Amino acid sequence: MAGASVLPCPARAVWGARVNSPVHYEEAQCKTALNRVAGMGFQWSLNPYRGCVHSCHYCFARRFHGYLNLGAGQDFSSVITVKVNLPEVLRWELSAPTWRRETVALGTATDPYQPIEGKYRLTRRALEALHRYRTPVGVVTKGTMVVRDVDVLADMAAREGCTVCFSVTTLDHDLWQQLEPGTPPPWQRLRAMERLRAAGVNAGVLLAPVVPGITDSLDNLSAVVRAAAQHGARFLGTQTLYLKEGTREHFLDFAQREFPGAIPLYERLYPRAYAPRWYQDRLGQQVAGLKVLYGLGDERPRVDENRPVQLAFP
């Protein structure tokens, strides 16, 4: 990338494992900060970083590294682009007379609270700009550093609107380490959510993605929904894993190594990028019932209690 500086780190310690390969942080100038989005429930997205040391094997954003002539595997978690001028560009865009203060989704591609945020504070400065221009925001993260910004998030929640979604796929220690080796432990994310809720922030859990054959058991789903309720989640949503080119190859290679027994299931469910509708509907029914059980939703369960839906396959 022209003009980028590379800041190597000799090694990095992550929560679930030790990663010995170096991480390179490439400083870059962005021309635009806000990205127009269609068909996603929000109008604009904002991502201060490209690539993510959280290293989630199922991350859909892995495929975007191909646009930079980088790989969806190790490159995704070891070559991180830092958009150093993003706060300044964002303020310029928000100050335009044509800006309509539509909701901005922060962290849709890579986590805005991965560790390097502690140095660059791009997410913090972006939130301050959005707050200044009275623009509502939705944040998606696995990072516990979000509690650092509880002051601005609470102010935004009281004025223009702010939602923080914590991604939690499992509470199982081994599954967490296998699937998300660079992330903070899920129970720490739940405590961070609890702190935001106490400050008045609209915060909740995204049980997403649900990984077929790995995290779709009733025990796993129940544990996440129950813990979300116990920690004061305002809402809980869910979504099934989807596998587009780039992410697909990386994830299936990972599954072949770590969960070879699940491969026949993936051959059945994923001839295309998305799991079939019947599977998604069954998952939605199961989670809806659990939300009612634990007090996290008004919808009545659509699951036949005499014939529970089984989401895991032999």
Residue 119 in this model has a pLDDT that exceeds 60: yes
DSSP state of 201: -
Q: Could you tell me how many residues make up the chain? A: 314
Least confident of 228-232, 277-281, 308-312: 308-312
What does the pLDDT read at residue 263?
96
For 123, the token pair is 């997410």
Average pLDDT, the chain: 87
Alpha-carbon distance 6 to 79, whole Å? 9
For the segment 172-201, the average pLDDT, to the nearest whole number, is: 97
Between the ranges 1-5, 7-11, 167-171, where is the mean pLDDT highest? 167-171
Q: Model's pTM, two decimal places? A: 0.87
Q: How confident is the model at residue 37 (pLDDT cuts 50, 70, 90)?
A: confident
Least confident of 24-28, 35-39, 42-46, 237-241: 35-39
For the segment 9-38, the average pLDDT, to the nearest whole number, is: 70
Half-sphere exposure of residue 273: CA atoms within 13 angstroms, side-chain side: 6
Between the ranges 42-46, 72-76, 131-135, where is the mean pLDDT highest? 131-135
Q: How confident is the model at residue 98 (pLDDT cuts 50, 70, 90)?
A: very high
Residue 33 in this model has a pLDDT that exceeds 70: yes
What does the pLDDT read at residue 159?
97
Strands (E), 74-194: 79-83, 104-106, 137-141, 162-167
Residue 306 in this model has a pLDDT that exceeds 60: no
What does the pLDDT read at residue 309?
33
What does the pLDDT read at residue 66?
59
Alpha-carbon distance 292 to 270, whole Å? 30
What does the pLDDT read at residue 301?
39
Q: Is the model more confident about 298 or about 178?
A: 178
What does the pLDDT read at residue 13?
36
For the segment 97-122, the average pLDDT, to the nearest whole number, is: 95
Assign domain 11-264 to a CATH class. Answer: alpha beta
What does the pLDDT read at residue 227?
97
Q: How confident is the model at residue 303 (pLDDT cuts 50, 70, 90)?
A: very low
Question: What is the DSSP pairing of strand 49-50 with strand 79-83?
Answer: antiparallel
In sequence order, the 6+-apart residues with CB closer than 8 A to the CB of 304 are none
For the segment 164-180, the average pLDDT, to the nearest whole number, is: 97
What does the pLDDT read at residue 72?
56
pLDDT > 70: percent of the chain:
84
